[in-house]
Amino acid sequence: MSSNAFDLSGKVALVTGANTGIGQGIAVALARAGADIAVVARSDASETQKLVEAEGVRAHLISADLSSIEPCDRIVSETLDALGRIDILVNNAGIIRREDALDFSEEDWDAVMNVNLKVLFFLSQKVARHMTDWASQDGTRGKIVNIASMLTFQGGIRVPSYTASKSGVGGLTKLMANEWAPKGINVNAIAPGYIATNNTAALQADETRNRQIMERIPEGRWGDPADIGGAAVFLASDAANYVQGHILPVDGGWLAR
């Protein structure tokens, strides 16, 4: 272990949905801590690549549509071919669909559940198989960090499949920690509060909802994707070796109010 428990030098992190927003903020923070980054995104992630490489580490772009598990094997094999191993997996990719529960469609239900929950599990499974091998061979611990939500704890409104999926992320985080901790893998999650990203653009633009949200946040502001980076570095580092199955809110105090 490095004398700096937060040092990720020599580690390789695979971050999904890393082209923008929270995923980009996490990728840059992990790179700043020394990790090489496999940047997985459906759309152009060249900006993230430049930001990562500016930290003096390697960035490898992988184009993949995570609406199904079809690309999961390729994502893992490309990362191993390009960067040699996977020490850290950040399951950040996610989508949201908004509609009253009375009118919510099966199509919107399946789309959100596939990306936010099904792919998260099966990509974790594939990566964990390699992590357990490395842990048994050389004692290297694997780190899986899932991105949960305030709606892992709360019900929300007009986002039934998102709420269901993020509640599921909380449960899966604990299950995977239970099974994989003895195999040398730490599994935890970050629950971002209200972060200014594309996913929350509609809320930011809604004058009434934006005011209601701001009034409840003790910090008095929307979060920035970079605010999630420190939590990701902690959970991905040796400093969190005894942290298992935890869901860490990074919410400006929203849940405390």
**Residues assigned a catalytic role:** 162
224 — phi, psi (to 5°)? -110, 145
Name the burial class of residue 18, with classes exposed (0-12), middle (13-18) and buried (19+) by CB atoms within 10 angstroms of its CB: buried
Kindly state the tokens that stand for 122: 């099966």
Answer for the pair 136, 184: CB distance below 8 angstroms, yes or no.
Answer: yes
Q: Where are the beta strands (DSSP E) in 118-233?
A: 142-147, 185-192
Name the burial class of residue 76, with classes exposed (0-12), middle (13-18) and buried (19+) by CB atoms within 10 angstroms of its CB: buried
